[in-house]
Amino acid sequence: MDRLDNTVRPYAWGSTTAIPGLLGVEPSGEPQAEMWMGAHPGAPSRTERGTLVEVIDADPERELGPAAVAKFGPRLPFLLKILAAGAPLSLQVHPNLQQAKEGYEDEERRGIPIDAPFRNYKDANHKPELICALTEFDGLCGFRDPLQAAGLLDGLGVDSLKAYVDLLHAHPEEAALREVLTAILTADPEQMRHTVAEAAAACTRLGGTYTAYADIAHHYPGDPGVIAAMLLNHVRLQPGEALFLGAGIPHAYLTGLGVEIMANSDNVLRCGLTPKHVDVPELLRIVRFEAGDAGVLRPEASPDGEEVYETPIDEFRLSRYVLPDGGTAPDLTREAPQILLCTAGSVRAGDQQLTPGQSVFVPAAERVEVSGAGTIFRATVIV
């Protein structure tokens, strides 16, 4: 079992206080957006044996287990994070596995440098993800019913939005959503800046349901993503609730602290709320234009106290144990790799005492028992 020393990424949207508050350290004054736990080459966790990439590369079958290597290859299939949003993240979607492979191979054939700002596919993997709230957590997830979106836009009283309102009343639903998002993202930039400014002023004046969009516009003035965001479900998670983001689902995180797990990929197509590249044709190919509920997940409790966040993904499995004072979880030994993360209290995992924000990597088949008073998240794979 290896205690992990993890990198905190200072993205501009990060909270200046949430991760320091979890770790019990003084804030530096700089944004601290994500703490990465895993073997992603961009910021691998460090151990006494070297980086987690080096540890796994030295003996994949020992560290990951033969079944995981056979199913996913000689690498850790997931990346675990603590995410602290102090401002909205970019509005984005992720490709499915086939789309990622095709997109990556196409950009490789065309000789687009892997670090080019206009490159869409950094690897050939998909990037489904799950976010579980540690605090109240606001986000956008999936398309609203088009008529609800039309009502929200119409309520602003902005003349230049009326064309979008009319389109949202059209049928079928998928075509209506596609046409509106396309129109928003291809509108004349100067006209869109004026529209967003009017909409932002109306959101500020009206408050209530519109407050979240006024805040988004404050951070991204003139960005067409402000209008696109109103097409999506606004969700407020309570601690312990989660969202699963599958391929093609437009989403953005707005504020809050959470535990995030994802397949080990960097593939993102952006819709807005960003100064970065937006490839509209490729984005429209990837987005699933389906309206529906955001699908808030609550954990399924098992008799042994494990609370599992069920998803249709094999690359990761996230669960948690909430241990009462002196409580003990059952034997967590598993024929697959695990990362254990403490988020509250003080928990003993094997020979390691963990406090909030501390984590360990458990190789496949290594015996581990957990005890103490607190909350521990368990990240692993399904083999």
Active-site residues, by number, are: 270
Q: How far apart are CA 86 and CA 107, in angstroms?
A: 33
Q: What token pair was written down for 277?
A: 């590249």
Q: How far apart are CA 68 and CA 66, in angstroms?
A: 6
Q: How far apart are CA 25 and CA 198, in angstroms?
A: 42
Cross-strand pairs, 129: 245, 262
| Cα first-last separation, the chain | 20
Q: What token pair was written down for 43?
A: 């910021």
The alpha carbon of residue 223 and the mean position of all alpha carbons in its chain are separated, in whole angstroms, by 21
Q: How far apart are CA 16 and CA 95, in angstroms?
A: 31
Q: How far apart are CA 221 and CA 215, in angstroms?
A: 10
Cross-strand pairs, 245: 129
Q: How far apart are CA 41 and CA 170, in angstroms?
A: 46
Q: Which of 181, 188, 253 is nearest to 215 (CA)?
A: 253
* Start-end of H helices in 207-313: 211-219, 225-229, 280-286
Q: How many CB atoms lie within 10 A of CB 78?
A: 28
> What amino acid is encoded at 261 in this protein?
I
- Reduce the DSSP state of residue 164 to 3 states and report it: helix
